[in-house]
Structures are given as structure tokens and as C-alpha cells.
């Protein structure tokens, strides 16, 4: 199994600012994944973060808006840049261990 | 565009009844299928995974997969009020082997009435 810790768990952010979300896993994993869940919507994959290489972004998501770091095999950060109210979402860190995908508790962001 | 479709509900069942949750997916090449439970204000929790046609049982939960019909279902027997949550169907979207690249449906909200 995997225990995933995310910080912050919740935040209210001002429009135009940026916020960095941290994700810490209790075991080494090759890939970490960042998802977004907008209000009333399902989860959408933002990007896959590999240690030692640039993140791979899904269609509709760009590095300038969601820069990701992956400095080692247990840690990753996602920054939400120049936030607007449309960025109000839950941001979830995820890892795959074997055939099981584990999610962190999520970071609930509200942009005002 | 790969899609996963679920009835948004709400689905209301009495306590002790069987709850049946359904999901269809668009990509015939999908190989891995998952059901997650998400309580309000919480992150998704994996409850079942299924990879081959047929039924897979785990306690009160049974997942059913029919690849020919591109259909996945989740049955919850002896439903309890604590089962009240949103159930998310997810399909592996990356056939290169990345298990974490999942395509989610919008979820079905289940309400179990005492």
C-alpha cells in the first residue's frame, strides 16, 4: 500500500496568485500523477511526473499554468499559477503501486 | 476522445437492498477497470478492480465486466447507510502500462435510506 500526504489540505487564494501543492509518499514510486476535480465534475488527469525528467501533460494542461517538480522518488509538487476562479478545484496526487492506484487526501483550493 | 459514462443519480435504495451501479466506456481497447468510492469532502478510495470478463466478488461488493458490451457494473449487497457516497467508475487510459492514467466517469451518487 502507499500513504500519500498532501499539503495544504485546504486554502483560499487570491485571483492572480500562485500556490504550490506538495505531495509526499511513504515509499519510492516511479511515477506520480496529478489530478484535478472541479466542482460537480469527475477527476481529470493533469500530468504525470517522473523523477529526473519533465512531466508529461495531458491535453488542455500546460506547463506554464501547472509547473511540476519531481526532485526524488517520494516527493512532487504541483503549482497552480496565476489563479482564476475557474481553478477552484480539488487537486489530487496519485501513485500506482502494482495494480492499485492510491490517492492523497486532496488539496481543496478556492480562488476568490 | 475516450469517455466513461455513468448515470449521475442520485440512486436511492433502502437499507438492506442491492444497489446496482452501471458504467459504459467508449474505448474497446481498455484493459483495466476500477470502482472508487468518494465520500463528500474526501478523496476517492479504491473499492474494486477488475481486468477480465465476468464477475469479481469482494465481501458485499461484486464488480461485473462485459468487454463485448463495453460495460462495467458494481453491485452492493445488503446496502448500508454508510455506503452512501459517490461511486466513480475509472478505466485505464494508457495502454503503454501507466496504471495511474485513469479516465473517470462523473460518478453516481448513492443514497441508502435507513
B-contacting residues of A 58-77, CB under 8 Å?
Answer: none
Predicted confidence (pLDDT) per residue in B71-102, tens digit: 999 999 999 999 999 999 999 866 555 566 88
Cis peptide bond N-terminal to A8, omega within 30: yes
How far is CA A57 from each of CA A46, A47, A103, rounded to the nearest angstrom? 6, 4, 19
B-contacting residues of A 73-112, CB under 8 Å?
Answer: 90, 92, 94-96, 98-106
Q: Report which of residues A1 and A95 the model is more confident about.
A: A95
Q: Does B96 touch chain A (CB under 8 A)?
A: no
Q: Mean pLDDT throughout A29-57?
A: 91
- Determine whether the interchain pair B100/A44 forms a contact, defined as Cβ–Cβ distance below 8 Å: no
pLDDT of residue A22: 98
Amino acid at each position: 500500500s502507499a500513504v500519500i500526504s498532501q499539503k495544504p489540505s485546504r486554502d483560499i487564494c487570491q485571483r492572480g496568485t500562485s500556490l504550490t501543492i506538495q505531495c509526499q509518499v511513504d515509499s519510492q514510486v516511479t511515477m506520480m500523477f496529478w489530478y484535478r476535480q472541479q466542482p460537480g465534475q469527475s477527476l481529470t488527469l493533469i500530468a504525470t511526473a517522473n523523477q529526473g525528467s519533465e512531466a508529461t501533460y495531458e491535453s488542455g494542461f500546460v506547463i506554464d499554468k501547472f509547473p511540476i517538480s519531481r526532485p526524488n522518488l517520494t516527493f512532487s509538487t504541483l503549482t497552480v499559477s496565476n489563479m482564476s476562479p475557474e481553478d477552484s478545484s480539488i487537486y489530487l496526487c496519485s501513485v500506482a503501486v502494482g495494480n492499485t492506484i492510491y490517492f492523497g487526501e486532496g488539496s481543496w483550493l478556492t480562488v476568490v | 476522445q475516450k469517455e466513461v459514462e455513468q448515470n449521475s443519480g442520485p440512486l436511492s435504495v433502502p437499507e438492506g437492498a442491492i444497489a446496482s451501479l452501471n458504467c459504459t466506456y467508449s474505448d474497446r481497447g481498455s484493459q483495466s477497470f476500477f470502482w472508487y468510492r468518494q465520500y463528500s469532502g474526501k478523496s476517492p478510495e479504491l473499492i474494486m478492480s477488475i481486468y477480465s470478463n465476468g464477475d469479481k466478488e469482494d465481501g458485499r461488493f461484486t464488480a461485473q465486466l462485459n468487454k463485448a458490451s463495453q460495460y462495467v457494473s458494481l453491485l452492493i449487497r445488503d446496502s448500508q447507510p454508510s455506503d452512501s457516497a459517490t461511486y466513480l467508475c475509472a478505466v485505464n487510459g494508457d495502454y503503454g502500462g501507466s496504471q495511474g492514467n485513469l479516465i473517470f466517469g462523473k460518478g453516481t451518487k448513492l443514497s441508502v435510506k435507513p
